[in-house]
Amino acid sequence: MPYSRCNIRRSVGELPRRFFGRGVAPGDQAPALSFAVAVTLAAVGGRLLVAPATLSGYARVAEATASPYLTAAVVLGVAAVLVAPLVLHLGAALATLGLAALVDERAGVSETVQVIAYAAAPGVFVAVPRPAVRVAALAYACVLFAVGLAVVHGTSRRRAALAAALPALFVFGLAFGGIAALDAVIAGA
């Protein structure tokens, strides 16, 4: 059955709310962290295949290792073991600060970590060497993040969007490269 507007609206709007309502549990960060690492490996691995020089620090590692295979292993290892968990938890800390200012009764930090991790799913499309695709994917990740915060923390969409703004800018704009992709789209690249 081809997608109609109703099917698209349902998959974009209703299903994420249902997922975040059922898929996020207090104190259950391990699956979310594993998911975030998998998304990071897919995004970085894809960029290593199609445009390795676009990765931050790639040239320095390539110069130091003098092997494309060792360079790929180091870049993927650092992304998976250091960068992904660090960005995930710093983003959750920023979101928690925003939520603390806007929402009286909210869920815990663990749930916020899970929301960011699962909202990052469209980040796998960062590997596509088209800035417009990256912008669209990361914009959708921002929407998923705000929807997830609203559902999990039981707040309005407006408050969730406000609380999500700064961490989304950090996670999806800086770490996943959304700002650079948007600059490229604006410049006409």
Rounded Cα–Cα distance for residues 101 and 112 (Å): 15
* pLDDT over 90 (residue 178): yes
d(CA 2, CA 66): 49
How far is it, in rounded angstroms, from Cα 23 to Cα 28?
A: 10
Nearest CA-CA partner of 62 in 50, 75, 78:
75
- CB distance 91 to 167 below 8 Å: yes
pTM (predicted TM-score)? 0.88
- Number of structural domains (the chain) is 1
Contact 28, 114 (CB under 8 A): yes
Query: What's the pLDDT score for residue 107?
Result: 84
Structural domain range at position 20: 5-187
Distance (Å, rounded) from C-alpha 112 to C-alpha 149? 7
Share the mean pLDDT of the chain. 89
Long-range contacts from 19-22, C-beta under 8 angstroms, 24+ separation: 19/118, 20/115, 20/118, 20/147, 20/148, 20/151, 20/152, 21/151, 21/152
Match 């799913």 to its residue by tokens: 121
Q: How high is the pLDDT of residue 4?
A: 52
On the question of pLDDT at 58 being above 60, the answer is yes
Output phi, psi for 168, to 5 deg: -65, -40
CA dihedral (129, 131, 136, 141) in degrees, to 10, reads 70
Question: Assign residue 127 a region: left if phi > 0, alpha if psi is -120 to 50, beta otherwise?
Answer: alpha
List, for residues 141-174, the tens digit of each pLDDT value: 999 999 999 999 999 999 999 999 999 999 999 9
The string of pLDDT tens digits covering residues 60-115 is 999 999 999 999 999 999 999 999 999 999 999 999 999 999 988 888 888 999 99
